[in-house]
A and B are shown apart, each in its own frame.
Chain A
Amino acid sequence: MAYQLEFDRVFQDDLDRDGIFLPITLHHGEQKTESEAQIDTGASCCIFRRDLGEGIGLDIESGFRQEINTVTGSFTTYGHPVMVSVLGFQFQSFVYFATAEGFNRNVLGRSGWLDRVRLGIVYHDSEVYLSSYGSS
């Protein structure tokens, strides 16, 4: 039996990079900042660099504190409600910003992003297919 999914967007990533990255825009109020983030199905939530949060006017430490575990230890983040836009799909979401200045990852994880999209990956061809969950 064959199964078929339909998506509204396709994005071609760069094969030379260590991971699958998508361009993102974070909005808070009338401020926005652009960057890119790595799709990470192993991440519980969306985690971004501190400077991205500060760039949209957030007081990082006023957020909801959450320790994030990794295989080598943990680090501190604070959660805030922001608008996340990826490939034209925009979601009001709750995401986390690392406190450490040296933290240099942006991650699109399960809660806050993967839980509100339909995602297809053809890694062999470096293709990412995306739709919002609510679309057809």
Chain B
Amino acid sequence: MATELLNDLMARAGRLSAEEKKRLARFLSEEARPDSIGAQESTRPQVSGDRHNGEPAVEWLKAHAVEYAGQYVALNGDELVGSGLTIRDAHAAAQRNGCPQALLVHVPPTEGGSWGGW
């Protein structure tokens, strides 16, 4: 039964556009991971090689911080998969794009800057 379903899904996926295939691939990749949305009750550290652990997010921020100043962005490696004025909006956009576990980052505003709070 599972094999039939898999064959059917693969046949249907063959009719998707290139962009839709990429989106589906991201979704399946996220679905295959054992952990959940970005918050989990666990003490298990992520292992080396996880896309979130590299510095692609840093390089993306260096290149695009001015453009997205004051917003939240959702990053899947060095790929922007969502953005919004709130973390809720950015996360929702990432989910719509098949990346529910994207790294959610607040881009500092260009005016006023960030505050230490003390």
Contacts and interface: CB of A to CB of B under 8 A. Distances in A.
Interface of A: 8, 25, 27-32, 40-45, 47, 62-64, 66-70, 74-75, 79-81, 83, 85, 88-94, 96, 105, 107, 109-112, 115-117, 132-135
A134 B52 contact: no
A44 B57 contact: no
B116 A29 contact: no
B45 interface: yes
Main secondary structure of the interface of A (DSSP, over half): strand
B90 to A, nearest CB: 10
Given A92-B103, A94-B103, A94-B105, A44 B117 contact: yes
A135 B62 CA distance: 33
Nearest to B46: A83
Interface of B: 36-48, 52-55, 57-58, 61-62, 65, 72, 87, 101, 103-106, 108, 113-118
